[in-house]
Amino acid sequence: MSFKTRLILSYVVMFVAPIILTIIAAAVMVVINVRAVAGSYGFEFKGNPVKQVMEKNQEAFDNIKVVASENPDVLRDKMYLENLEKELNKLNTSAVVRINNNIIYSSNNLKRLDLNEVLPEFGSATSGSYERALLGNEVTFMRHQDFYFTDKSQGTVFFITDMTPILKRVGRVVLYMCVVILLILIATDGILTYYVSKGVLRPIETLKNAANQIEEGNLEFEVKPASEDEIGELCTAFEKMRVKLKESINLQMQYENNRKELISNISHDLKTPVTAIKGYVEGILDGVADTPEKTERYIRTIYAKASDLDKLIDELFLFSKLDLNNLTFNFEQVDIKEYLEDCVQELSLGLEKDNISLNLNTEKITNPFVLVDNEKLKRVIINIVENASKYMDKEEGKIDIRLEENDDKVIIEIKDNGQGIPKEDIPCIFDRFYRTDKSRSSLTGGSGLGLAIVKRIIEEHEGKVWAESEEGKGTSIFFTLKTIKK
Q: Which residues in this chain contact ligand ATP in the complex, by CB under 6 A?
A: 315, 383, 387-388, 390-391, 416, 418-421, 429, 434-436, 439, 446-452, 475
Cβ-based neighbour number of residue 424 at 10 Å: 8
Is 152 exposed, middle or buried, given 0-12, 13-18 or 19+ CB atoms closer than 10 A? exposed
The least distance separating ligand ATP from the CB of residue 356, rounded to whole angstroms, comes to: 12
Is 120 exposed, middle or buried, given 0-12, 13-18 or 19+ CB atoms closer than 10 A? middle
The least distance separating Mg ion from the CB of residue 229, rounded to whole angstroms, comes to: 57
The least distance separating ligand ATP from the CB of residue 348, rounded to whole angstroms, comes to: 17
Distances (CA, A) of 227 to 199, 200, 213, 224, 333: 8, 10, 22, 9, 55
**Residue 318 or 411 with smaller CB distance to ligand ATP:** 318
**Residue 84 or 452 with smaller CB distance to ligand ATP:** 452
The least distance separating ligand ATP from the CB of residue 440, rounded to whole angstroms, comes to: 7
| Angle at alpha carbon of residue 384, lines to 347 and 315, rounded to 5° | 95
The least distance separating ligand ATP from the CB of residue 420, rounded to whole angstroms, comes to: 6
- Number of residues that make up the chain: 486
The least distance separating ligand ATP from the CB of residue 259, rounded to whole angstroms, comes to: 19
Picked from Mg ion, ligand ATP, none, the partner binding residue 483 (CB below 5 to 8 A depending on kind) is none
**Residue 206 or 387 with smaller CB distance to Mg ion:** 387
Q: How far apart are CA 88 and CA 161, in angstroms?
A: 9
The least distance separating ligand ATP from the CB of residue 340, rounded to whole angstroms, comes to: 18
User: Is residue 63 a contact partner of residue 43, using CB atoms and an 8 Å limit?
Assistant: no
**Residue 162 or 315 with smaller CB distance to Mg ion:** 315
For the segment 385-424, give every residue that binds Mg ion (CB under 5 A). Answer: 387
For the segment 420-479, give every residue that binds Mg ion (CB under 5 A). Answer: 450
422-428 own/partner pairs: CB under 8 Å, 24+ apart? 422/471, 423/469, 423/471, 426/467, 426/468, 426/469
Site string for Mg ion, 351-390 (x = CB under 5 A): ------------------------------------x---
**Residue 91 or 429 with smaller CB distance to ligand ATP:** 429
Q: How many H-runs (helices) and E-runs (strands) does the chain carry? A: 11, 12
Which single residue brings its beta carbon nearest to ligand ATP?
A: 450
Picked from Mg ion, ligand ATP, none, the partner binding residue 391 (CB below 5 to 8 A depending on kind) is ligand ATP
**Residue 235 or 451 with smaller CB distance to ligand ATP:** 451
Picked from Mg ion, ligand ATP, none, the partner binding residue 475 (CB below 5 to 8 A depending on kind) is ligand ATP
**Residue 117 or 437 with smaller CB distance to ligand ATP:** 437
The least distance separating ligand ATP from the CB of residue 316, rounded to whole angstroms, comes to: 9
Which single residue brings its beta carbon nearest to Mg ion?
A: 450
H-run or E-run covering 2: none
Picked from ligand ATP, Mg ion, none, the partner binding residue 61 (CB below 5 to 8 A depending on kind) is none
The least distance separating ligand ATP from the CB of residue 323, rounded to whole angstroms, comes to: 14
Picked from ligand ATP, Mg ion, none, the partner binding residue 339 (CB below 5 to 8 A depending on kind) is none
**Residue 296 or 459 with smaller CB distance to ligand ATP:** 459
DSSP state of 74: G
Q: How, if at all, do strands 154-162 and 138-148 pair?
A: antiparallel
Is 273 exposed, middle or buried, given 0-12, 13-18 or 19+ CB atoms closer than 10 A? buried
Quick check: helix, strand or coil at residue 362? coil
Q: How many residues bind Mg ion (CB under 5 A)?
A: 2
Q: How far apart are CA 425 and CA 420, in angstroms?
A: 10
213-221 own/partner pairs: CB under 8 Å, 24+ apart? 214/242, 214/245, 219/245, 219/246, 219/249, 220/246
Picked from Mg ion, ligand ATP, none, the partner binding residue 199 (CB below 5 to 8 A depending on kind) is none
394-397 own/partner pairs: CB under 8 Å, 24+ apart? 394/418, 395/355, 396/355, 396/357, 397/351, 397/354, 397/355, 397/356, 397/357
**Residue 105 or 391 with smaller CB distance to ligand ATP:** 391
Footprint of Mg ion (CB under 5 A): 387, 450
